[in-house]
């Protein structure tokens, strides 16, 4: 492993602020880079969905993806345990956990993996998933490799949460702008109704709102229709 590759990897995983950020492409790159940098055969990422259930979102190989799916479906294996406990889980020899996780152990051996290490993806209390490392030879990863793997998992986690926060802020900004635009149309509709019906603005708004509710229409949609002359109140 060269220092250049390591530095390049950290820069890639930290750069989630680009305009064309694609979360799935980013996570696939996480798995590829982790396998390269940490010297393991393959890597995978499990993340939680909106309901808190684990999902396979990226894997550097198809065999990895299938093994990850099995662990989720059976809730059996080092990766779900890592997520549930928030602690790194090391399985240096898959054969040794055959009694504890029989289906996982059998499938891991069937697809050629002899060792698995799962690392938590967490920022303080926010546990979002796990980074999982697979190798074809039995053996524990060295302490330095584990620390580096956790550092990569942490950087990827921060990048994802940062991108999520930015999208959330953008969504809120869009919603606010939509609300502001709608408010302008509603005020215009109130003026039209007030002039046409000889009402004050409060009465005009009450009529607009009650009509929208009785017709099961959005308030801003009805207001736009009134302003455009399509609907007469």
Would you place residue 56 in the very low, low, confident or very high pLDDT band (cuts 50, 70, 90)? confident
Q: Which of 25-29, 127-131, 216-220 has the highest mean pLDDT?
A: 127-131
108, 109, 106, 114: which is closest to 137 by C-alpha?
114
The correct answer on CATH 3.40.50.150 for the domain covering 3-166 is: no
pLDDT of the residue at 19: 55
> 133-142, 156-165, 209-218 — which one is most confidently predicted on average?
133-142
Question: Is the dihedral angle over the CA atoms 229, 230, 232, 233 positive or is it negative?
Answer: negative
pLDDT score for 70 = 95
Residue 229 phi/psi, 5-degree rounding, is 80, 10
User: pTM above 0.75?
Assistant: no
Average pLDDT, the chain: 85
Sign of torsion over alpha carbons 71, 77, 79, 83: positive
Q: Which residues contact 117 (CB under 8 A, 6 or more apart)?
A: 40, 78, 88, 89, 90, 91, 132, 133, 141, 146, 149
Fold agreement (3-166, 173-227)? no
| pLDDT exceeds cutoff 70 at 65 | yes
Question: What's residue 179's pLDDT?
Answer: 63
Give the Cα separation of 35 and 42 in Å (integer): 5
CB-count exposure of residue 77 (10 Å: 0-12, 13-18, 19+): buried
Query: Model confidence at 14, in pLDDT bands (50, 70, 90)?
Result: low
Q: Average pLDDT of 186-191?
A: 89
Q: pLDDT band for position 11 (50/70/90)?
A: low
Domain positions in the chain are 3-166, 173-227
Residue bearing the bigger pLDDT, 70 or 158:
70
Q: Check whether 28 has a pLDDT greater than 90.
A: no
Residue recorded with tokens 């190798």 = 135
Per-residue pLDDT at 205 exceeds 80: yes
User: Is the pLDDT at 99 greater than 60, yes or no?
Assistant: yes
Determine the Cα–Cα distance for residues 199 and 100; give it in Å rounded to an integer: 76
Report, at the CATH architecture level, how domain 173-227 is classified.
Answer: Orthogonal Bundle (1.10)
Tens digit of each residue's pLDDT (9 = 90 or more) over 119-137: 999 887 788 899 999 999 9
């Amino acid at each position: 492993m060269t220092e250049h590759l390591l530095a390049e990897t950290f820069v890639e995983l930290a750069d989630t602020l680009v305009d064309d950020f694609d979360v799935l492409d980013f996570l696939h790159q996480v798995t590829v880079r982790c396998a390269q940098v940490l010297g393991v055969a393959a890597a995978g990422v499990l993340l939680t969905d909106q309901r808190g259930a684990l999902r396979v979102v990226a894997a550097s190989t198809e065999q990895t993806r299938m093994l990850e799916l099995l662990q989720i479906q059976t809730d059996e294996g080092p990766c779900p345990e890592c997520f549930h406990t928030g602690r790194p889980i090391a399985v240096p020899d898959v054969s040794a956990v055959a009694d504890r996780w029989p289906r996982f152990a059998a499938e891991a051996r069937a697809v050629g993996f002899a060792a698995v290490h799962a690392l938590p993806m967490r920022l303080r209390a926010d546990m979002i998933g796990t980074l999982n490392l697979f190798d074809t030879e039995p053996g524990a990863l060295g302490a330095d490799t584990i620390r580096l793997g956790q550092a990569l998992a942490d950087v990827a986690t921060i990048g994802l949460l940062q991108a999520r926060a930015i999208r959330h802020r953008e969504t809120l900004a869009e919603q606010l702008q939509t609300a502001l635009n709608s408010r302008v149309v509603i005020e215009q509709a109130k003026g039209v109704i007030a002039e046409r019906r000889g009402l004050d603005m409060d009465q005009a708004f009450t009529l607009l709102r009650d009509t929208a509710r009785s017709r099961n229409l959005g308030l801003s949609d009805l207001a736009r229709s009134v302003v455009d002359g399509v609907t007469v109140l």
